[in-house]
Amino acid sequence: MKIRRAGAAVAALALALGLAACSSGAGAEEDTPYIAIVSKGFQHQFWQAVKQGAQEEAERQNVRITFDGPADETDIEGQIDILGNAITKKPDALGFAAIDSNAAAPLLEQAKGAGIPVIAFDSGVDSDIPLTIAATDNKAAAAEAAKHLADLVGGKGTVAMVVHDQTSQSGTDRRDGFAEWMKANAPGITLLPVQYGGSDQGKSADITKSILQAHPDIAGIYGSNEGTAIGIVKGIQESGTTGVVVVGFDSGQAQIDAIRSGLEAGAITQDPVGMGAELVKAAVKAIDGEDLPPSIDTGFYWYDKSNIDDPKIDAVLYE
């Protein structure tokens, strides 16, 4: 009998300790600042690298994050649904990379009304609600890609550009930065009208094959993001064309392989891990009521076969 009473007492003590532990854990989570992050997507390694940087910085800052996005970077409606769900969770701050810089405006107004500070990243919105944006200077980066492509084709010939979209600010800036530099600095180059690949490798490959068929003497093609650049390389390979200079944007294993093999001349790489870290740093400052600059430049680099193994470049390439 005594044994049974002792066992019951131990069990009761264990239950009490367990409940206390559970209560402590739940309270700790509730007390930890929560940042909801909504990206453009997940299908590219770029976004996984942004997520990695955000998670690492969240651990350093002792905050909790979630990182969500649609399966397809063209899925505007899907991203808006994810953004709406994120706001209903009442985060302490919201990180947002817009697929469509206009479509999210009503929900951002909702976030502002709920007192949720918004930090844009990668691509801005047509709104003054985000307190800052952590992003590459996409116009300057695209101009750097244009300069390298112009040099590689000897400053003359026909050049095409395949851009990932015309709804996001990153898409329009990478289009305009490239085209404006060519117009101002490369009078010997004829730039074809822009075409949009929707970040889709297959669609970008088909566009490339159509360009090559219509312009067999084309000197170079520029792709404005990871999926687009890989699609251009695939289109050239599938068409059996040689001698076309390809310049891309972003990183990822397929582009790294294409540059090492010579199928692609080079690309602009961003710093997605740093972008994720800067996003979380800015969100924490916003939660703490600190002032933020209008924008946070997360940097970019040109890389090709000559410097791809440089430790500075290697650190910002993502596979």
Annotate 210-276 with DSSP letters as a single string.
HHHHH-TT--EEEE-SHHHHHHHHHHHHHHT--S-EEEEES--HHHHHHHHHTSS-EEEEE-HHHHH
Q: How far is CA 23 from the centre of its chain?
A: 38
> pLDDT value at position 41?
86
Rounded Cα distance between 140 and 157, Å, is 23
What global pTM score does this model have?
A: 0.77
Q: How far is CA 30 from the centre of its chain?
A: 29
Q: Provide CB contacts within 8 A for 11, sequence distance 6+.
A: none
Amino acid identity of 111? A
Q: Provide CB contacts within 8 A for 61, sequence distance 6+.
A: 280, 281, 284
β 266-270/295-297 pair status: unpaired
- 272, 46 contact by CB (below 8 A): yes
Domains in the chain: ranges and CATH: 34-136+272-299 (3.40.50.2300), 138-270 (3.40.50.2300)
Rounded Cα distance between 160 and 299, Å, is 25
Rounded Cα distance between 91 and 203, Å, is 37
Across the chain, which has 319 residues, the per-10-residue mean pLDDT values are 34 38 48 95 84 96 96 90 97 95 90 97 87 95 98 98 92 97 98 95 97 97 96 97 96 94 96 95 98 95 96 87
CA distances from 300 to 29, 237, 249, 274, 292 (A): 36, 28, 10, 11, 21
